[in-house]
Amino acid sequence: MAESVLMQAATAVHEGNLDGLREIIARSPAVLAARDERGRTLLDLACRAATGDIAIPLVAGTREQHAAVDLLLAVGADPATGDDDGWTPLHTAGMAGHSDLARRLVGAGASVYANAYGRDGGSALSYALFYAKAYMGDVLAPVYPDNLRSAAALGTDLERFVAGEGLTPAASAGLDFYAPVFFPMWERTFSRQEILDEALSWAARNDQCESMAALVDLGADVNASAFRGTPLLWACYSDKVAAAAWLLDHGADPDLRHDWGGEGHGVAAVAMHLAAQHNCVGCVNLLLDHGADPTIVDGAYGGTPAGWAEYSGAADTLELLRRRVG
């Protein structure tokens, strides 16, 4: 299969040209199994197009782009086929938070057990929960990996992972995945404290206050930065006001600095930087009410929360800061 035919089909998908896509498939049915230089199939490329290339925040994609995905599934495209890194169309739907797309892929035979980048636990659900999309658990079932971190993020029973003063082996199953590959490497210890603190971070970004309370009772630290940010930073990133309020009420430091997110993204940032950047008015108000410093600067650019808001076009937050702070 000439790559040019695959690219022609991918262009038709991106443009929502269903008639053109049908013509290409009729003329060259092998295009369904063709791969580009990264091992991506036409269905993979179609799912990327329908999600704005895995855009965060969510980009809905056009009706025609989603119809192209359905057309490919109807004529036999395999949703379980991964690219050279093991990334499947279901990973795209999970990370981007497209529940309906994920439902259609699972219905067509996509596997929730597929691991991307050779990492145990690197499932579509793991990517969804990492990016604060607990609602994807309704589609990406059964839960994989079924560990303490996933249970905390989904708000399900944690007691089955507790054994006396310790944790069961299942609590740490599938923790080889901890973030997308463009994040820094993490030299894990898999200690009890590290597992609890990471689970607390995932619970916070997914607004699971009951999970957070249970984890803190087990010894999780509300001010720990298990990996690239405290629970409060992650709660504010994902605009989870209830989780942020719970953390602040239980001792989280609103001005605690930590590197956050991907490599070089949030150097010595605080929760208000993230809340301001993502136009999370509720979290900004909450932080100010808890005494957060609105003039604090990050470690990379010397930017204040207002500067972060202005740079990202967060007009509502910028107006709020100007009104409350000056």
Task: Dump pLDDT digits (tens) for 171-197.
Answer: 999 999 999 999 999 999 999 999 999
pLDDT surpassing 80 at residue 3? no
What is the pLDDT averaged over residues 39-61?
97
Q: How confident is the model at residue 265 (pLDDT cuts 50, 70, 90)?
A: confident
What is the pLDDT averaged over residues 92-113?
98
pLDDT surpassing 90 at residue 263? no
What is the pLDDT averaged over residues 44-67?
97
Q: How confident is the model at residue 71 (pLDDT cuts 50, 70, 90)?
A: very high
pLDDT value, residue 219:
97
pLDDT value, residue 262:
87
User: What would the 3-class secondary structure string for the chain be?
Assistant: CCHHHHHHHHHHHHHCCHHHHHHHHHHCHHHHCCCCCCCCCHHHHHHHHHCCCCCCCCCCCCHHHHHHHHHHHHCCCCCCCCCCCCCCHHHHHHHHCCHHHHHHHHHCCCCCCCCHHHCCCCCHHHHHHHCCCHHHHHCCCCCCCCCHHHHHHHCCCCHHHEECCEECHHHHCCCCCCCCCCCCCCCCCCCHHHHHHHHHHHHHHCCCHHHHHHHHHHCCCCCCCCCCCCHHHHHHHCCCHHHHHHHHHCCCCCCCCEEECCCCCEEEECHHHHHHHCCCHHHHHHHHHCCCCCCCCCCCCCCCHHHHHHHHCCHHHHHHHHHHCC
pLDDT value, residue 58:
94
Q: Out of 7-11, 97-101, 236-240, 258-262, which region has the weakest mean confidence (pLDDT)?
A: 258-262
Mean pLDDT of the chain: 96
Q: How confident is the model at residue 2 (pLDDT cuts 50, 70, 90)?
A: low
What is the pLDDT averaged over residues 260-271?
90
pLDDT value, residue 208:
98
pLDDT digit string, tens, across residues 298-320: 999 999 999 999 999 999 999 99
What is the pLDDT averaged over residues 124-144?
98
pLDDT digit string, tens, across residues 118-131: 999 999 999 999 99
pLDDT surpassing 70 at residue 1? no
